[in-house]
């Protein structure tokens, strides 16, 4: 069990685990501190400067990089903090494409929450505006789109790609008001090392990184990915009886919320019009639809004509361990041969 630290936030006595930072401690105790660049799974970067707090005996500092200490007294609001946050926010929003109604993050967006809490000086906002034209959208990746006009430069995608995925496909490029996230050499995503895992998309706090053709599901079903035998846990989002999204299950012991490109974006085959939904049997040189009983009878009849080394099985990495166990059992015990291999070994 983790050692508990006692501290006071806004006059309230609270406890936190040793090793937590002040931002985590506040959020765990339902005390909201505005923040954009912090993510609990990543190293804090201290980039957005929104999580300013006052701590007795210390200068005004950022909560996400300050570890909790026994007896600490923290204030999350004051006129000075409020003014500092407003300026930090206005610099982020001045060139932001705030067409919220056309943004998939609308109502779930961390920037909206920050703006709601901090407020903005609209006159100053207009003066801070740097660009009249919108920057080009990077839609080179078939699975997701990057809209730099909605990016708040929090760096969460960059740290996710490096610390979680280990791909290091993206980083900051350019400086000052020209700064943006891109592939190495300011190249589009498709020309980078990007593995299309989508881990950056799920952590982007705003609508800058969004899944192509995203539809918000009306409900979700917990299941296991069927693409390989790893058994990653996921939630499939459903709308109008169609699967429209996939989200990693943080409580899955096999995957802890992570998914690869297939698990995250490969679900569309389920509703694809060309998907086979019944067995096909070749008759007179043409594949024709058949019932499962007909297909299984035909396979059993064909199999019964072979025994021993006339027969071989190739098992599949798409099957579960249990399926593959049964496949080898069938091959050895029923068909009488050790001629069995697995596609993952080829």
Which option in ligand FES, ligand SF4, none does residue 111 bind, with CB closer than 5 to 8 A by kind? ligand SF4
CB of 276 to ligand SF4, least distance (A): 30
Short-list 233, 138, 246, CA closest to 194: 138
- In the complex, the smallest distance separating the C-beta of residue 227 from ligand SF4, rounded to whole angstroms, is 17
What's the closest the beta carbon of residue 279 comes to ligand SF4, in angstroms? 37
Residue 163 engages ligand SF4 in binding (rule: CB under 6 A): no
Q: Residue 111, interface with ligand FES (CB under 6 A)? A: no
Residue 49 found at the interface with ligand FES (CB under 6 A): yes
Residues 6+ positions from 6 with CB-CB distance below 8 Å: 13, 14, 15, 70, 71
> Judging by beta carbons within 10 Å of its beta carbon (0-12, 13-18, 19+), is residue 158 exposed, middle or buried?
buried
Task: List the interface residues with ligand SF4, window 78-137 (CB under 6 A).
Answer: 96, 98-100, 103, 105-106, 109, 111-112
151 binds, among ligand FES, ligand SF4, none (CB under 5 to 8 A by kind): ligand SF4
Residue 152 near which of ligand FES, ligand SF4, none (CB within 5-8 Å, type-dependent)? ligand SF4
Q: What is the closest distance, in whole angstroms, from the C-beta atom of residue 39 to ligand SF4 in the complex?
A: 9
d(CA 6, CA 21): 13
Per rule CB under 6 A, is residue 26 in the interface with ligand SF4? no
Q: Which of 44, 198, 229, 237 contacts ligand SF4 by CB under 6 A? A: 198
* Residue 38 contact partner, candidates ligand SF4, ligand FES, none, CB within 5 to 8 A by sort of partner: ligand FES
Nearer to ligand SF4, 209 or 315 (CB): 209
Identity of the residue, 5 or 23, whose beta carbon is nearer to ligand SF4 in the bound complex: 23
The count of C-alpha atoms lying within 13 angstroms of the C-alpha of 222, restricted to the half-sphere facing its C-beta, is: 6
Among 63, 161, 246, 315, binds ligand SF4 (CB under 6 A): 161
Which residues face 74 on adjacent strands?
Answer: 9, 55
Question: Does residue 243 touch ligand SF4 according to CB under 6 A?
Answer: no
**Binding status of residue 167 toward ligand SF4 by CB under 6 A:** yes
Least Å distance, CB 286 to ligand SF4, is: 42
User: Which of ligand FES, ligand SF4, none does 204 bind, CB closer than 5 to 8 A by kind?
Assistant: ligand SF4
If one counts every other C-beta atom within 10 angstroms of the C-beta of residue 222, the result is 12
Q: Is 46 in the site for ligand FES (CB under 6 A)?
A: yes
Nearer to ligand FES, 66 or 245 (CB): 66
Residue 170 interacting with ligand FES (CB under 6 A): no
Stretch that binds ligand FES, among 47-55, 101-109, 240-248, 316-324 (CB under 6 A): 47-55
User: What are the residues binding ligand FES (CB under 6 A)?
Assistant: 35-38, 46-51, 62, 64
User: What are the residues binding ligand SF4 (CB under 6 A)?
Assistant: 96, 98-100, 103, 105-106, 109, 111-112, 150-157, 160-161, 165, 167, 169-170, 181, 194-200, 204, 206-209
């Amino acid at each position: 069990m983790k050692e508990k630290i006692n501290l006071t936030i806004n006059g309230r006595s609270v406890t936190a685990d040793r090793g937590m930072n002040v931002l985590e401690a506040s959020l765990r105790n339902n005390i909201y501190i505005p923040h954009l660049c912090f993510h609990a799974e990543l190293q804090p970067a201290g980039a957005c400067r929104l999580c300013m707090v006052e701590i007795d005996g210390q200068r005004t500092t950022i909560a996400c990089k300050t570890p909790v200490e026994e007896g600490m007294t923290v204030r999350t609001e004051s006129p000075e903090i409020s003014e500092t946050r407003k300026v930090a926010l206005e610099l982020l929003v001045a060139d932001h494409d705030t067409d919220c109604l056309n943004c998939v993050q609308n109502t779930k967006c961390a920037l909206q929450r920050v703006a709601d809490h901090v407020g903005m000086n609209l006159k100053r906002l207009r003066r801070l505006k740097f660009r009249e034209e919108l920057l080009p959208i990077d839609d080179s990746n078939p699975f997701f789109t990057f809209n730099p006009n909605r990016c708040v430069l929090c760096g969460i995608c960059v740290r996710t790609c490096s610390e979680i995925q280990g791909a290091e496909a993206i980083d900051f490029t350019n400086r000052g008001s020209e700064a943006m996230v891109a592939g190495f050499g300011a190249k589009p995503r498709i020309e980078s090392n990007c593995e299309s895992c989508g881990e950056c998309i799920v952590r982007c706090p705003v609508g800058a990184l969004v899944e192509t053709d995203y539809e918000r599901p009306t409900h979700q079903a917990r299941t296991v990915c069927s693409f390989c035998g790893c058994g990653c846990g996921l939630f499939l989002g459903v709308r109008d009886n169609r699967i429209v999204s996939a989200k990693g299950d943080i409580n899955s012991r096999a995957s802890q919320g992570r998914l690869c490109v297939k698990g995250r974006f490969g679900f569309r085959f389920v509703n694809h019009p060309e998907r086979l939904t019944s067995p096909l049997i070749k008759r007179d040189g043409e594949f024709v639809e058949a019932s499962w009983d007909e297909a299984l009878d035909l396979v059993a009849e064909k199999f019964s004509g072979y025994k021993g080394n006339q027969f071989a099985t190739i098992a599949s990495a798409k099957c579960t361990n249990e399926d593959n166990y049964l496949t080898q059992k069938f091959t050895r015990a029923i068909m009488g041969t050790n001629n069995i291999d697995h596609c993952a070994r080829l």
